[in-house]
Amino acid sequence: MYAQLKEINHKPKPFEFYTAESLWADPHTSEQMLSYHLNEDVDLASRNKMFLEKSINWIIFNFSLGEQTKICDFGCGPGLYTSAFALTGAKVTGVDFSKNSLEYAKTHAKKESLNINYVFQNYLEYEPKEQYDIITMIMCDFCALSPIQRKKMLEKFHRLLNDGGRILLDVYSLKGFEERTETSLYEHMQLQGFWSKYDYYGFLNTFKYDAEKVVLDKYTIIEEEGSKVVYNWLQYFSEDMLSNELKDAGLNIQAIYDDVAGSNYSKNSTEFAVVATKT
């Protein structure tokens, strides 16, 4: 028991383990994530309805979406953004590796007669032949990637953008990092049964890495038949940190906002959004 508890509370190196794909591929947890996506009242897998509407309207106006626009949403989930983009007549692609979310998106698109190209794939491996005018990565998805993965992602964005193309992404800020605290929690049926439909006990260890500005939420799920560990990594950024990563990939920040709804940049938010252009 002592050895098990010691392992549960062990702090790994930053991004030493990566379990995102297994989280989204698991039938139970992916169904739970879809339900969070579709809950209009909370800011969990997706933003609340009011913010979504504001964000969608701002993106459509700010990027002048229309019939001549080719746009790709990386991590599109159930299509909350892609569906709205398609209504402008834009040529829309959505990429995600959650089967449940994409099936919902496809069903909705068919029901509404929306022409959207949905791709069931890990977006780190997505290599289309076409290029886009706009690429979006929303809900701070970029922060869940390791430094190596982020470099690969930004280089991909550069390749996939047309000349003069732009990307929109949001990230967690250093203010957000300051507000996080290290903690250890133990709970029966943690997160109201999110992790399994069977009886389980959940441990949550939150670790902060001050030098790297990284936070890890490490979930250890113990069931009668075994256990699993889920590592939820989040990178936090300053303006300069994000700008340097973008520049290394041939992308320059054009504008900074408090969020992907175009709110004025205040430097007081726990996240911020950037529009970057291909150089």
Distance CA 101, CA 108 (A): 11
CATH number at residue 260: 3.40.50.150
pLDDT digits (tens, 9 = 90+) for 102-123: 999 999 999 999 999 999 999 9
pLDDT band of residue 34 (cuts 50, 70, 90) is confident
Classify residue 16: in a domain, yes or no: no
pLDDT in the model for residue 213: 98
Residue 132 domain flag: yes
Q: Which of 45-59, 170-184, 221-235 has the lowest mean pLDDT?
A: 45-59
Q: In this model, does residue 136 exceed pLDDT 60? A: yes
Question: pLDDT of 201-223, one tens digit each?
Answer: 999 999 999 999 999 999 999 99
What does pTM read for this prediction? 0.93
- Judge whether residue 57 has pLDDT over 80: yes
In this prediction, residue 39 carries a pLDDT of: 63
Contact between residue 191 and residue 174 where contact means Cβ atoms under 8 Å apart: no
Q: Burial of 54 by CB count in 10 Å (0-12 exposed, 13-18 middle, 19+ buried)? A: middle
Residue 121: count of CB within 10 angstroms of its CB: 14
pLDDT > 70? residue 42: no
CA–CA separation, 215 vs 210, rounded Å?
Answer: 9
Domain hosting 101: range is 27-172+238-278
CB environment 242-276: b (16+ within 10 A), e (fewer): bbebbeebbbeeeebbbbbbbbebeeebbbbbbbb
Quick one: pLDDT band at residue 168, thresholds 50, 70, 90?
A: very high
Say which residue the tokens 């791709």 belong to: 119
pLDDT band at 45 (very low <50, low <70, confident <90, very high): very low
The yes-or-no verdict on residue 1 having pLDDT over 90 is: no
8 Å CB contact between 171 and 94: no
In a domain, 120, yes or no: yes
**Are the CB atoms for 180 and 201 separated by under 8 Å?**
no
In a domain, 225, yes or no: no
> How confident is the model at residue 44, as a pLDDT?
47
Q: Is the pLDDT of residue 260 over 50?
A: yes
The number of folded domains in the chain is 1
Residue 258 lies in a domain: yes
